[in-house]
Structure 1
């Protein structure tokens, strides 16, 4: 059986109006076209739904039984059509986003809020985990899109890399805040807050100190830069962080911010990536969000680079 939407629509209209001509007017079709549609429907179901009496269609009991089912099917089809239109217009759907701690405090919520402002029926899941966990979630297709530190190449992930410059965080009232550039010699023997030893910024910092013959005094070891920046605010140490954490700190504290960020020489960078699953196509909604997120990340990189030129 191969029933069409038009056949069901015509049948329901004939039953509601009680007339082929009235049904034709309601549907914008000719009377012969309506009669042909009903005949085609009867061929599909395999039995007559109407008696023909002097050019009129008189519903048989089977037609009355079928009416409720036909109306239900039409309603479901209409709802499905609206849903597909909403999906195509990015008005329905779900976004599953994963990001690392540095992006979760300010950057990603702001991007998501701006994207969803005119999309009240879109559901969103925004989860914060360490970069390796975010990578695993994207690789296993548990999440649609991720933003995290760049992982090793994997066949299950598409990774678009962005290099975020490193800066040195200094208390505003510290003598080093007057310097335009901070070097390992400036930080020789001074207390530092650093991430774990195999983090990219930590490795680049150790290399810079070693090559400059400066003493690296690691007083605090942390998992993320945001608490390190709070320790710097308290005047307990200095830290060399990537621009995302620096901007997130500025946005979070606003006028209450007690830090300045200065270029660190030699330059260091943290590679972060926009991550998507490689083994399945993205939905229209995810593609649209990815485009917005990509533009925001590029703007973030430019802004982070600007931190290196602050007075």
Structure 2
């Protein structure tokens, strides 16, 4: 049994107006066309749809039952139209983001709050985890995008790489505050809080110390820059971290200075190569990249 949408419209219009003539005016078509649509629909359902009473077409009990279902069909179609409009306008949908833990507790909450405020129909999943897990999720198309570091490439993943400026951070009032910029030689006697050994950033930092003939005084090894910032805020040690993370702690007993030589922290935005790419996720990536502009290193090489 196949129905045409126009037949359902004619059936509903006749039921609401009690007249083929009035229904035709409502639909904006001729009376013969309306009669034909109604007849074809009646033949399809094989039931009597209307009885004439006092010059009006009155729906039969079977037709009234059908009308309630037809009403649901049109309600669903209106909902689909609204949803399509919202999706086109990027005001509805489900955005799934995987990120490093530091982003989930510092930079992203405020950014996403503003992003969602402009898109009241959008649902969000934000999942923090280690880089290896984020890559696994993106390859499996479980998330729309991932924010990670240390990414070296994968054929199932497209990526945008961003070099973020780094700074040396220290407790407020520390002797380093007298300097305009800080080099490894200035940190020779300091206890260093640093990224995990073997990570690309730690390797670059170690090389900078070695190039200056200075021993890196390893004190605490952390996975996230935010952890280093928290320890420095408590008056313990110094660290070299991304300017993005340092900025989150500038009001919490943490001061910073540029680090020389310049070392970049490389972030990567990952997306699956295959699968659909929602306009919503593209909007988020643009918004995220815009938020990073003050922290992007102008000249950087990996």
- 1:58 and 1:101, CA in 2 relative to 1: closer, same or farther beyond 3 A? closer
From 284, 291, 298, the equivalent of 2:286 is 291
- The offset of 1:128, in angstroms, is 1.5
Mapping for residues 186-201 of structure 1, pairs under 5 Å: 186-201=186-201
- 1:191 and 1:56, CA in 2 relative to 1: closer, same or farther beyond 3 A? closer
Between the aligned partners of 2:107 and 2:16, the Cα distance in structure 1 is 56
The match for 1:83 is: 83
Q: For the Cα contact (< 8 Å) 1:103–1:244, is it kept in 2?
A: no
Query: Alignment RMSD, CA only?
Result: 2.5
- The offset of 1:90, in angstroms, is 2.3
Mapping for residues 147-226 of structure 1, pairs under 5 Å: 147-226=147-226
Between the aligned partners of 1:276 and 1:3, the Cα distance in structure 2 is 41
- The offset of 1:56, in angstroms, is 8.4
When the two structures are superposed, what TM-score results if normalisation uses the length of structure 1?
0.85
The match for 1:239 is: 239
When the two structures are superposed, what TM-score results if normalisation uses the length of structure 2?
0.88
The match for 1:275 is: 270
Q: For the Cα contact (< 8 Å) 1:225–1:241, is it kept in 2?
A: yes
- State whether structure 2 residue 29 is matched by structure 1 residue 29: yes
- 1:4 and 1:78, CA in 2 relative to 1: closer, same or farther beyond 3 A? farther
- The offset of 1:282, in angstroms, is 1.1
Q: For the Cα contact (< 8 Å) 2:15–2:57, is it kept in 1?
A: no
Between the aligned partners of 1:258 and 1:133, the Cα distance in structure 2 is 33
- 1:180 and 1:42, CA in 2 relative to 1: closer, same or farther beyond 3 A? same
The superposition leaves residues 14-45 of structure 1 with CA deviations (integer Å, 9 ceiling, x where unpaired) of 12222101212222333222113223434555
Between the aligned partners of 2:211 and 2:129, the Cα distance in structure 1 is 34
- 1:235 and 1:64, CA in 2 relative to 1: closer, same or farther beyond 3 A? closer
The superposition leaves residues 192-229 of structure 1 with CA deviations (integer Å, 9 ceiling, x where unpaired) of 11121112221112111112111221111122122212
- The offset of 1:124, in angstroms, is 0.8
The superposition leaves residues 69-106 of structure 1 with CA deviations (integer Å, 9 ceiling, x where unpaired) of 32332222222322222222323211111111232222
Between the aligned partners of 1:240 and 1:64, the Cα distance in structure 2 is 74
Between the aligned partners of 1:48 and 1:41, the Cα distance in structure 2 is 10
Between the aligned partners of 1:64 and 1:190, the Cα distance in structure 2 is 84
Q: Which runs of 5+ in 1 are unaligned?
A: 306-311
Higher deviation after alignment, 56-65 or 202-211: 56-65
- 1:72 and 1:234, CA in 2 relative to 1: closer, same or farther beyond 3 A? closer
- 1:234 and 1:69, CA in 2 relative to 1: closer, same or farther beyond 3 A? closer
